Structure 1
Amino acid sequence: MRISIKACAIALLFLPPFSQASAADIIVPQGLGGTWVAQDINGGAVIDTLRTTLEIRPDGSYGGNGGCNTYRGNLKVEEGGAITFAPAAATRKMCAPAIMDQEQKFFDALGTVKSWRLENGFLHLADKDGGHALRLSASPDGTDIVIHLPQTLSVARETVNYVCDDGQKLSVEYINAMPISLAVLAIGENTVIASNVLSASGAKYTGGQYEWWTKGEEATLYDLTRGENAPGVVCRRPS
């Protein structure tokens, strides 16, 4: 079995297999493929701390993270900029109401898309009347790390966004394949892969110079280079 960790992608996935037969003959135009991040939906702003992604793959499938749930489906691309996203299969997690609201708006908008264009580095997706549905920016490419496990295990992946007391915003992907438990932290321009270690309460992860200790809706980030007794930075999930 393999666990694939992608530095710029994040989610919890329990989806049934789906056929890619309808996508087999799709040729994704140059510039359309890759991972995109929603910047506005139907002309409205998105939550700053929430990362809603759309990955368009060379095989004609698409997927990503709606902000709470991961999803995947097939798309149809035609000449002249016409494009259609077939209904997607998605996980069924529940998150905060504001997150669920944005995710539903994203899925609804994706279902109305009939055309696409690239402009100033942004991907613009429009409905049948040419009205604005989604505007997305390109996401930096990530690097895959593959871990081979000796037996078949179920893998749970979840991404949580935090706002910290020092003003920084952290995106953390939790990957659990018992007995392996990892936290992938995006700290500034760096990605830290931390492994779960024994703790008296909550869940503690260590990686490189950092220690990440979660308790309920809060977590504390410690920079071990500052000394053993240095206070950490408290981070919280947006309400």
Structure 2
Amino acid sequence: MLRYALFLGCACVLIEAGTVQTVAAGTAPQELVGTWLVEDIKSGGVIDNLQTTLEIHDDGTYSGMAGCNNYTGVFTVKSLQISFAPAAATRKLCPPAVMDQEAKFFRALSEGLSYEFRGDELRLYAADYTVPLRMMRHDNLADLVLRIPAAPIDRSEVRYDCGGEPVMAEYINSGNISLLQLSIGDAVVVAANVVSGSGAKYMGGYYTWWTKGEAATLFNAVNGVDDKGIDCTRAP
């Protein structure tokens, strides 16, 4: 299940570089290296369509998307013990539920942790043997194949600027089937065309993508019924 939320309208983006503490970081075990998608925090689950990731690098640094904010930091590994130094993060403001999950994620990383692999699953254990974080490997992309009646398939890609954020839209049409794939950072949203009074309207997950002429508007249901959307224009 894709867990991702986009909040392009957030203001006040700052980096708190002073919060990062330098620690001696050796070469990370290769089985840890990669991108991990958080499936559970403190046995409380996670918000559907809200993507929280942890990217572990072999140079002793870590980074990712906490749900609303991007972050980066350093870590150390000794045997099966892993310690994450406090991260530097952007300071965007998102809905309270999103900020609450993000805070829980950072608190979970701050605990004294050990790690264990179960197939493609990575579990981080606290000293009391509880599991603050459970994650799945998120490095590989998979192809989704849909079988449809034989008909010409028309695909076109358009790059947009949505409030300063790049978004790639791929329109896929075949007969009476009309789909949209939005690439937003590392996330992918697949939406289907629905009836609209004007323009072309696509809906998928929490998102609504409404095109009119050369422009589009991106709506996010997480922001409530009063969400005015983000204006998107075609980029060069």
Q: Shorter-chain-normalised TM-score: which range?
A: 0.5 to 0.7
| Identity across the alignment (%) | 36
Q: Check conservation: 2:61, 2:72, Cα contact below 8 A.
A: yes
CA apart distance, 1:129: 2.2
Which string of whole-angstrom CA distances, capped at 9 and with x for unpartnered residues, describes residues 183-209 of structure 1?
Answer: 14599995658xxxxxxxxxxxxxxxx
Partner of 2:45: 45
Question: What code does the residue aligned with 2:93 have?
Answer: M
Residues 1:186 and 1:55: Cα distance change in structure 2 (over 3 Å): farther
Which string of whole-angstrom CA distances, capped at 9 and with x for unpartnered residues, describes residues 92-131 of structure 1?
Answer: 1110000001000111111114201111210100112222
How many residue pairs get aligned? The number is: 169
Partner of 2:196: none
Distance 2:207 2:43 in 1: 32
| Structure 1 unaligned blocks of 5 or more | 1-7, 143-171, 194-210
Residues 1:42 and 1:212: Cα distance change in structure 2 (over 3 Å): same
Distance 2:125 2:169 in 1: 34
Root-mean-square deviation (Å): 4.0
Distance 1:119 1:184 in 2: 35
Counterpart secondary structure, 2:132: strand
Partner of 1:33: 33
Distance 1:29 1:106 in 2: 22
Q: TM-score normalised to the size of structure 2?
A: 0.58
Distance 1:218 1:175 in 2: 16
Distance 1:111 1:56 in 2: 15
Partner of 1:138: 137
CA apart distance, 1:22: 3.5
Distance 1:27 1:234 in 2: 41
Q: Check conservation: 1:20, 1:61, Cα contact below 8 A.
A: no
Partner of 2:108: 109
Counterpart secondary structure, 2:48: coil
Distance 1:58 1:67 in 2: 23
Residues 1:94 and 1:36: Cα distance change in structure 2 (over 3 Å): same
Residues 1:185 and 1:43: Cα distance change in structure 2 (over 3 Å): farther
Q: TM-score normalised to the size of structure 1?
A: 0.58
Distance 2:117 2:44 in 1: 19
Question: What code does the residue aligned with 1:85 have?
Answer: F
Partner of 1:199: none
| Structure 2 unaligned blocks of 5 or more | 142-159, 172-178, 185-199, 225-236
Partner of 1:98: 97
CA apart distance, 1:44: 1.1
Q: Check conservation: 2:74, 2:85, Cα contact below 8 A.
A: yes
Partner of 2:221: 237
The aligned runs of 1:192-211 (5 Å cut-off) are 192=183
Partner of 2:187: none
Partner of 1:183: 167
Larger RCO, structure (CA 8 Å, separation 6 or more): 1
Counterpart secondary structure, 2:92: coil
